[in-house]
Amino acid sequence: MGDLDSWHQRYSFQGHALALDENIYEIRREKLKKIEALGQPAYPRKFNFSHTVPQILSEYGGQTAEELESPRVTVRMAGRIMAIRLMGKAGFAHLQQDGQRLQIYVKKDAVGEAGFELWKLLDLGDHIGIRGYLFRTRTGELSIHAEELTFLSKDLLPLPEKWHGLQDVELRYRQRYVDLVMNPEVRAVFLKRSKLVQSLRRYFDGHGFVEVETPMMHPIAGGAVARPFKTHHNTLDMDLFLRIAPELYLKRLTVGGFDRVYEINRNFRNEGISMRHNPEFTMLEAYQAYTDYLGILDTTQGAIERAVEDVTGGTRTKWGEDEIDWSHGNWRRMTMREAIAKFWPEKAGAAPMREDFASHESVRELVMRVRAAAVDVGYDPAEPAGKTIAALFEAVAEEHLVQPTVIYEFPTAVSPLSKQKPDEPDWTERFEMFAGKMEIANGFSELNDPEDQRRRFEGQLRERERGDEEAHQMDEDYIRALSYGMPPAGGVGVGIDRLAMLFTDSHTIRDVILFPQLRPEKTSTAEGTGDTKGK
- Judged by CB under 7 A, the chain residues 29 through 58 that form the site for RNA are 31
Largest CA-CA distance found in the chain, in angstroms, rounded? 91
Is 185 an interacting residue with respect to RNA (CB under 7 A)?
Answer: no
Least distance between RNA and beta carbon 439 (Å): 3
Residues 425-464 vs RNA: string with x where CB under 7 A?
A: -------------xx--x----------------------
Give whichever of 112 and 349 is closer to RNA, judged by the CB atom: 112
Q: Name residues whose C-beta falls within 8 Å of residue 409's C-beta, 6 or more positions apart in sequence.
A: 335, 336, 337, 421, 427, 428, 429, 430, 431
CB under 7 A: which stretch of 41-49, 56-64, 160-168, 284-292 binds RNA?
160-168
SS3 273: coil
Least distance between RNA and beta carbon 434 (Å): 9
Give the footprint of RNA on residues 114-133 (CB under 7 A): 123-124
Give the footprint of RNA on residues 483-522 (CB under 7 A): 495, 497-498, 508-510, 518-519, 522
Give whichever of 41 and 112 is closer to RNA, judged by the CB atom: 112
CB under 7 A: which stretch of 37-45, 90-98, 233-241, 346-354 binds RNA?
90-98
Give CA separation, 29 vs 22, 23, 36, 114, in Å.
10, 10, 11, 19
Is residue 94 a contact partner of residue 51, using CB atoms and an 8 Å limit? no
Is 74 an interacting residue with respect to RNA (CB under 7 A)?
Answer: no
Give the footprint of RNA on residues 353-392 (CB under 7 A): 376, 378
Phi-psi region of 317 (alpha: psi -120 to 50; beta: other; left: phi over 0): beta
Among the listed residues 14, 40, 97, 143, the single contact to RNA using CB under 7 A: 143
Is 103 an interacting residue with respect to RNA (CB under 7 A)?
Answer: yes
Is 226 an interacting residue with respect to RNA (CB under 7 A)?
Answer: yes
Give whichever of 20 and 311 is closer to RNA, judged by the CB atom: 20
One-letter identity of residue 317 = T
Is 525 an interacting residue with respect to RNA (CB under 7 A)?
Answer: no
Instruction: List the one residue out of 110, 62, 105 whose CA is nearest residue 83.
Output: 105
Among the listed residues 47, 135, 190, 258, the single contact to RNA using CB under 7 A: 135
Is 470 an interacting residue with respect to RNA (CB under 7 A)?
Answer: yes
Give whichever of 97 and 143 is closer to RNA, judged by the CB atom: 143
Is residue 241 a contact partner of residue 217, using CB atoms and an 8 Å limit? yes
Cis preceding-peptide flag for 41 (omega within 30 of 0): no
Q: Name residues whose C-beta falls within 8 Å of residue 395's C-beta, 6 or more positions apart in sequence.
A: 370, 375, 376, 377
Give CA separation, 178 vs 98, 184, 348, 360, 497, in Å.
14, 11, 52, 56, 22
Task: Give the total of residues touching RNA (CB under 7 A).
Answer: 74
CB under 7 A: which stretch of 99-107, 303-311, 347-355, 452-460 binds RNA?
99-107
Question: Residue 231: phi, psi to the nearest 5?
Answer: -140, -175
Among the listed residues 21, 213, 323, 451, the single contact to RNA using CB under 7 A: 21
Q: Counting beta carbons within 10 angstroms of the beta carbon of residue 399, is it exposed (0 to 12), middle (13 to 18) or buried (19 or more)? A: exposed
Least distance between RNA and beta carbon 479 (Å): 22
Least distance between RNA and beta carbon 512 (Å): 11
Instruction: List the one residue out of 242, 282, 245 whose CA is nearest residue 264.
Output: 282
SS3 400: helix
Pairing of strands 142-153, 100-107: parallel
Give whichever of 268 and 289 is closer to RNA, judged by the CB atom: 268
Is 317 an interacting residue with respect to RNA (CB under 7 A)?
Answer: no
Least distance between RNA and beta carbon 480 (Å): 25
